[in-house]
Each structure stands twice: as structure tokens, then as C-alpha cells.
Amino acid sequence: MEHNTGNIILYDTTLRDGAQTFGISFSLQDKIRIALELDALKIDYIEGGWPGSNPKDNLFFSEIRSASINHAKIAAFGSTKRPKMKLAEDELLQNLIQSNAHTLTIVAKSWDFHVTDALNITLEENLNMVYDTIAYCKDKGFEVFLDAEHFYDGFKANSDYAMKVLESAKKAGVDMLVLCDTNGGTLTHEISSITQTVCSSFTTPIGVHHHNDAGVAVANGIAAIINGAISVQGTINGYGERCGNCDLTTLIPNIVLKLGYHCNAESALEHLTETSRYISEIANLAHNEHAPYVGDNAFAHKGGIHVSALKHNTATYEHINPELVGNRRKVIISELAGKSNIQVKAKELGISLSKIQLSETILRRIKILEDQGFQFEAAEGSFELLIRKSNGEYTPFFTLKGFRVITEKNESGKVTCEATIKVEVDGQIEHTAANGNGPVQALDNALRKALEGFYPEINELQLSDYKVRVLDEKEGTGSPVRVLIDHKRHVDHWGTVGVSTNIIEASWQALVDGIEYMLLKTRNNTKH
């Protein structure tokens, strides 16, 4: 690996460290979609998970090989070999090797307290484990990073030993030394001093990995860069265990727009907000409205002196132009304010802008839907259909004449669901019924059954994931819900969304959009 060329290397661990967030449970397809989104953002390294820790991570490294990753390098996370165990016999290490990831990130103890009390081995044994593991992985042809766990705490407790851990990795041929603030309690002035000491002592590239338990993970990442680190590990939206990790959606614009550093994500900075919201939808977590740069309210202004000043010069109350990070100002609700967002998304979806007349009608429709709870960042299928329908470019493939869903529970406690549906295709009425484990599956099965004679490819469509979010918890069971469905056909994935106070109706909206989107792509039912 080349030494610092002037670009800061961004290493994302949303799929591993971020997945340890309370309330997050990524499916395999979630992880694939997020990886593709991170690649589009020009993130340099995407850590996919810990091979061998669970079947899902193993499958990820297998399937990501056939995905269209154009920029990022895929990294796999694992630990040094276990004490008293031969390298070739350590199953976890072999799983790491078999992942065939471009980069292997090896976590190792660098705090003497953890070596003696957690691993219950001698300090020398730990140094040997670090050397042997890294040398073994390098011999296998991998790029290898060392994550020096608890490095800053270890340095403060026993700096000589912490540095010996790094030296052992260096002798083994490691490509990058990553200093980890694992407990997240180290303050910025300490990060600056220790990072500078390490950078002045090693020619090997230095990276950092900071947790946010003291609320300064982003500040610590900036301090590390200023003091010689060339790489920062973090997550989108700061997801991570306990208080989270360094938030890349804050770090990236800070180092690019404020400090003048360069990184590959600089070229895709206008997609930062979109990426942040997309991944929050996939994670099924409410997007942080007050997040710097990417929050819905990051550039929101109320009346009075602020609004008056903004009319003359936006720099009076905005530290950057929100469009630089793909966000928008909320003070002026106009066609222009919504137009830029639509244009960016439409371009991403391959819709010819020259053929879209972004009229007041389209903009008004989008704003009405957003007020109702619709979010299209992770529902690209629904968004494209909305644009094409509003612009008169789309003819539906079928028309609903009605449906009924019955849920019955008998004396034995068994629950059965049946859906009946009537649809019209090219003047022909199809009336059928189907069962399912639940009302949504029954409705999905009935719809497929009604359409398969007209559109046989519907049998190739799979529902990869189904998420429900209550939009107003104060309303209890009467609250509107947002249903997000992930669809798959062969190697293609797309999301659709529905919103209603009735979960079946919301699901119907998302199901129909998913089918129509697939048929749009396979049969091109658009007006040109």
C-alpha cells in the first residue's frame, strides 16, 4: 500500500460495527444494497462483517463478488489466531482467509490489561500472535490492516507495550496500523498527542477507529488526520455499539469543505444526504432530523431575523451551501427547492431529465406524499413509478377491481389467512383467491396467482425483506404505518413503499409498486 498521497482513505464499517447498534438487524440483501450505496459514494473500503461469526456474513462475502462494486475494496474483519492454536487449525482465521476479501482487518489486543486479564496470556505471547497472524495472511496474498484494540487506553497505561504491538505488526508486513479508541472515552487533546507520537515513529500508514462514548468521535477523527493519520474508520449516521462510531456523514464534509483535505468521496459529496437517508431506511431507524449536514433540519430556518437575513445572503445563517451535500434549505418552500432533489434521484434511476417536465403538479404530489409519511430514499421503485405516472410516461399493467383479506382463528389457536382478489388486464377480469401465513402473504400470493397467466415472469420475483414502521407512536394502534419492501429478481434489487393507517393497504401499495416496477423494467411499458 502506498504511503499518504494526499487523499484521506475512508473505511466504512456500517455492515459490521454499525450492525451492532441496538435495534438494527440487517438482512443479507440489506447488506448488499448498503454496500452498493457505499460504493456509489466512493467509500474506499467496505467492511462486510466477520466471516465465521454467523452464516449471513459468510454469504455476504460470497455474494458480493458478483455485485457491481466499481470502486470500493471489500474488507473482512477477524481476530488474531487463538492462543495455543496452530494457524492452519484456527477455524475463525481460516474462515477469514476463505472469505477471499481484498483486505483482512485483524483486531489485536494492544492494552496490556486486556492481554493478561482478558486473554489470560503473557505479553510476549500476544506479540507473537500478532506477528504470526499477520505474516500468515500476508503470505496468502492479502492486504492486511491491524486494528489495535483499545490502543489509546493501552498507550496511556503502558505506552512501551502498545507501541511494541504496532512494531510486531509492522515486522510482519502489515499494510496499515489502525489505532482504536474502543471504549470511546479518549478526549481530543489526547488523540492528537498520541496519534502524532505514533505517526512520527512509524513509516507504515496510520489509520484510526473511534467510538463516540464521549461524544467526540468525529472531532477525534479530525484531530487524528491533522496529526498524521491518513485513514479514518467510521459508519454512516454514526451507527455502532453503545453510543456509536465516528459518523462519516459528518466527518467527510468537515475534512473536505472545512479543512481542504481530499478523499474519493469528495466527487460524490452531493449524494451524501441521500446515502444517509437511504441507509437509515434500510436500517429501519428514524433518520436523525438534526444530524449535521444531512439532517432534515440541518438547514431549516424559522421566521424573524434569520429569514430576513437569508433573503439577502444565505451565508448569514448557513455555514455551507446545503446543495454541496445534497441537502436543501427549508426556509423557502418552492418548486425550485424540491426540483433539485428530484433531478438528482431521477438521474440516478436513469430517467431522462429532458423528458421530465417537473411541473408544480409533480412537486405538489411529492410534498403531499412526504407529509403523509412516504419516504423514497430506499424506495427507488416507487419513486420512479411516481415520476413516470405524474409525467404521463406510464401505463399500468393491471387495474385492481377489489380485494378482501380474511383472518380466522379457531378454537385450537390456529390462525389462517385467505385473500380474494379481482384484477383487470387488457379488458380481461381475473378473480382468484390464495392462502398465506399472514394477511400480507395471502394478498401477495393471490395477486401473483391472478397475474401469472398474463405475466409469467412474476414467478421470478422474490420478496427479500419486509419492514414496518409506526409513524406516530402517540397515536398507538391508530397511527399511520410505513411499509418498506425489498424485492429481488435474479441479481436486481429494488425497494418500494406504502403508507396508510391500515397495514394491509400500506402493504398493498408497496406490493403493487414492486410488481409494476419489475414489469416496467422487463416490458418497458412507457410512453415515448
Domain holding 173: CATH number? Answer: 3.20.20.70
Check whether residue 416 and residue 311 sit in a common domain. no
In order of 178, 184, 196, the CA distances from 189 in angstroms are 18, 14, 11
Please check whether residues 145 and 74 belong to one and the same domain: yes
Classify residue 464: in a domain, yes or no: no
pLDDT reported for residue 336: 36
Which residues in the chain land under pLDDT 70?
1-6, 301-317, 329-363, 377, 473, 491, 525-528
With residue 9 as reference, give the H or E element that holds it: strand 9-12
Q: In what order do the strands lie in the sheet with 399-409?
A: 399-409, 415-425, 428-436
Angle at which helices 360-372 and 335-348 pack, to 10 degrees?
90
Q: Domains in the chain: how many in total?
A: 3
Ramachandran angles phi, psi of 419, nearest 5°: -120, 135
Residue range of the domain that includes 203: 9-282
pLDDT digit string, tens, across residues 454-503: 999 999 999 888 989 888 767 777 789 999 999 988 868 899 999 999 99
Q: How far apart are CA 232 and CA 448, in angstroms?
A: 47
- Please report where in the chains the cell 451535500 appears, as a residue: 325
- Given this model, what pLDDT does residue 304 score? 44
User: Is residue 123 located within the same domain as residue 204?
Assistant: yes
pLDDT at residue 306, as a whole number: 46
- Confirm whether 196 is domain-assigned: yes
Find, among 241, 226, 149, 164, the residue nearest to 189 by Cα.
226
CATH code where residue 441 lies: 3.30.160.740
320 shares a domain with 421: no
pLDDT at position 379: 84
pLDDT for the residue 431: 96
Q: Are residues 164 and 182 in the same domain?
A: yes
Least Cα distance to 446 among 369, 351, 371, 512 occurs for 512
Instruction: Check residue 479 and give its pLDDT.
Output: 84
Clarify whether residues 327 and 236 are in a common domain: no
Cα angle 108, 110, 223; round to 5: 105
Q: Do 410 and 340 belong together in one domain?
A: no
3-state secondary structure of 494: strand
pLDDT for 372: 86
Q: Looking at the structure, do residues 267 and 309 belong to the same domain, yes or no?
A: no
- Provide the H-helix boundaries in 119-233: 123-139, 151-157, 159-171, 188-201, 217-226
Cβ(483)–Cβ(463) below 8 Å: no
Per-residue pLDDT, 354: 54
Residue type for position 123: L
- pLDDT score at 357: 55
Q: Among the three residues 248, 282, 316, which one is the final residue of a domain in this structure?
A: 282
Q: Does residue 125 fall inside a structural domain?
A: yes
Same domain, 321 and 207: no
Contact call for residues 28 and 62 (beta carbons, < 8 A):
no
Do 167 and 278 share a domain, yes or no?
yes
For residue 527, what pLDDT is reported?
45
Alpha-carbon distance of 370 to 320, in angstroms, equals 25
Ramachandran region of residue 100, left (φ > 0), alpha (ψ -120 to 50) or beta? left
Phi, psi (degrees; rounded to nearest 5) at 59: -65, -35
- Residue 81 and residue 225 share a domain: yes
11: Cβ contacts below 8 Å, ≥ 6 apart? 43, 44, 45, 47, 75, 207, 231, 232, 233, 234
Shared-domain flag, residues 258 and 313: no
